[in-house]
Chain A
Amino acid sequence: MGLLFAAGAQAQDVRIGVLNDRSGIYADLSGEGSVVAARMAVEDFDAEAKGINVTITSADHQNKPDVAATLARQWFDQDNVDLIVDVPTSSAALAVAEITREKNKVFINSGAGTTELTGAQCSPNTVHWTYDTWALANGTGGAMVETGADTWFFLTADYAFGHALESDTRALVEGAGGQVLGQVRHPFPGQDFSSFLLQAQSSGAQVIGLANAGGDTVNAIKQAAEFGITQAGQSLAGLLIFITDVHALGLEAAQGLVLTESFYWDLNDGTREWSDRFAERMSGQKPTMVHAGVYSGVLHYLKAIEATGDDSDGAAVVAAMKEMPTSDPLFGEGEIRADGRKLHDMYLFRVKAPGDSEGPWDYYELVSTIPAASAFKPMEGGGCALVE
């Protein structure tokens, strides 16, 4: 019977490449966890029974665009990879998007934040799944002003990414009626932020926006606690920070920090059930939104493959993905816009005080939900050529 079925349905070979950081600064928030998430998606979809043979490979791009580009090229040219997922670090993501378009394959990005992926450098082969910097700025900037915190000071990493993060957030803060009292540009990467924090403190702003990432953000938060800045009543707002960063900081230093994410393991029964299964395979680590995005993206890709029955034309697969509404237990119902932007709710969280936490990974309390319709940058004026 099984034999008959296999003969009846034409077997499809699908190769998925998980390309991310396995040794560097984003290894904890993407890394092996993304491979596990992709594998779980394949299992939950029950691909084999549906006649789709999925092979998953993975590699370390070291957060370097040239390494990412080389690996992506090699995967497409030599190893017949059909889909690349994850790819944190904006520069690496943009490089992979470019190659995916050239080779007409599919790229589902979960780990990177740049809005360029669905803006000026958008592509018919790319879907940007989990979050982007505009959505984070919108959640943290816009939603915070609405809660009454309307004077801001920015601590900005002095390079293109930091500037973009700052200017996006600034526009949203001012648009919501808030006021920006000043900003300071710190060298990247920075080690000591005390001097900049002191300048932020003397500005008297209610919110200090951290327009930086990774180790810089962690150091800035650590030192803000040391200099008593949060205790004195100013709030810190992380514009790009993940639950793994909070885990590394410890609640003592991170408490009170406000941040935006598109996923938290403890949101509802669906996320809890999946996250428990994930944690079992990852020796207790809860998933980040990047892991969740990889799961959800791969699941939707497989649905599109099942519907079209053909994985050879990447642009056609992405077009089919855009036609079908998305649905999974992690992000709920959603859709993919013409420019490749996946839409879902975003959430504004505040980090709990150590006393309110019930144990490891119990870190966030929900402040507000930003509905999908207003969570992402409007398509008009985004600069994407796919949008007429």
Chain B
Amino acid sequence: MFELLGIPPQALFGQLLLGLINGSFYAILSLGLAVIFGLLNIINFAHGAQYMMGAFLAWMLLHYLGIGYWWALILVPVIVGAFGVVIERLMLSRLYKLDHLYGLLLTFGIALIIQGLFRNAYGISGMPYSIPSQLAGGQNLGFMFLPNYRAWVVVFSLVVCLGTWFMIEKTRLGAYLRAATENPTLVGAFGINVPRMITLTYGFGVALAALAGVLAAPVYSVNPNMGADLIIVVFAVVVIGGMGSILGAIITGFGLGLVEGLTRVFYPEASSVVIFVIMAIVLLVKPAGLFGRA
């Protein structure tokens, strides 16, 4: 049996598959950020907090109301998305005429408030949330044991990502959206309610974050800080992909999951910085990001 740099190929396949699974979280989260940035020109610093809200809401639905995973998958994004709509109407909409940095500062403040409130209410140790019974167990692939739930995460997030991409790049609705970012006045003149479209877009991006939160709840610890550090990695993913590029966010999300997975095998100590190193290199060579328009 040949070996690659001292690692048997089966183990390598296993690690690549795991990388892809982590990449799917990056992809959904960075997709949400990219959608919001592309259409609102706002860096949504509250994205990590909204992801955390998604996971917590799934737990709360189960704990207080007995509503399980599958309903949570639908209900949670809707609820958190609605929360996003309220934030956009009440606060973000007042900032569009100002420098984009104010949007960043505002959402940073919102993130602090959300995280602080959850920490006060639920402490920080984390809440248990089990894998839904239909997806318990796993498959023995020969080279690794693949939990069914992880396989579901990859497939589901691919569908969500591609669906979003299709909607924005290939449908009439998406065309309006893209046109509205280029020239809102003109699109408004065609009788399209641009502010409402922007509001719903923000809600949609937030809903994506919440969806990632529900997906994460059974595998990661559900605690108020779960999004705080992840968000910075996701920012880096979006920067590498090219800010605002939908396809870039998806491909980079999955791709960097793979790269990170490989680093974990060959040089595990560096696996948390590798994304930032790649970011620095990309910015040097191609400042607009891999898929961005300069």
- What residues of chain A have their CB less than 8 Å away from a CB belonging to chain B? 23-25, 27-28, 158, 184-187, 189-192, 194-196, 198-199, 201-202, 215, 218-219, 222-223, 226-228, 232, 244-245, 247-250, 252-253
Contact = CB atoms under 8 A, between A and B. Distances in A.
Given A198-B11, A198-B15, A226-B149, 19 more contacts: A25-B125, A186-B264, A189-B229, A191-B229, A192-B18, A194-B21, A195-B261, A195-B265, A198-B144, A199-B11, A199-B265, A215-B124, A215-B225, A223-B219, A226-B219, A244-B125, A248-B125, A249-B128, A250-B128
Contacts of A228: 138, 145, 147
Given A202-B11, A219-B220, A219-B221, A194 B18 contact: yes
A185 B220 contact: no
B126 A218 contact: yes
Contacts of A192: 18, 22, 219-220
Nearest to A25: B124
A92 to B, nearest CB: 16
B14 interface: yes
24 contacts: A28-B124, A184-B268, A186-B264, A186-B271, A190-B272, A191-B229, A195-B19, A196-B264, A196-B268, A198-B18, A215-B124, A218-B125, A218-B126, A222-B220, A223-B219, A226-B131, A226-B149, A226-B150, A228-B138, A228-B145, A228-B147, A244-B125, A247-B125, A249-B128
Contacts of A190: 272
B126 A215 contact: yes
Nearest to B8: A202
Interface residues of B, number: 38
Given A185-B269, A227-B147, A215 B223 contact: yes
A24 B223 CA distance: 11
Given A158-B269, A196-B268, A198-B15, A226 B22 contact: no
A249 B11 CA distance: 29
Residue among A187, A190, A192, A245 facing the most chain B CB atoms (10 A cut-off): A192
Contacts of A191: 220, 226, 229-230
Contact of A23 (B15, B19, B119, B138): B119
Contacts of B120: 23
Residue among A25, A191, A202 facing the most chain B CB atoms (10 A cut-off): A191
Nearest to B270: A187
B279 interface: no
Contacts of B127: 248
B18 A195 contact: yes
A312 B134 CA distance: 65
Residue among B149, B221, B229, B265 facing the most chain A CB atoms (10 A cut-off): B221
A227 B145 contact: yes
Residue among B14, B126, B223, B230 facing the most chain A CB atoms (10 A cut-off): B126
Nearest to A248: B125
B269 A187 contact: yes
Interface string B207-240: 0000000000001110101100110000000000
Interface in B138-179: 138, 144-145, 147, 149-150
B18 to A, nearest CB: 5
- Please give me the 3 A-B residue pairs with the lowest Cβ-Cβ distance, nearest first: A187-B272, A250-B128, A248-B125
Interface in B186-210: none
Nearest to A192: B22
A385 to B, nearest CB: 34
B271 A187 contact: yes
Contacts of A195: 15, 18-19, 261, 264-265
A26 B275 CA distance: 30
Interface in B74-127: 119-120, 123-127
Given A194-B21, A195-B261, A227-B145, A28 B220 contact: no
B226 to A, nearest CB: 8
B179 to A, nearest CB: 38
B185 interface: no
A249 to B, nearest CB: 6
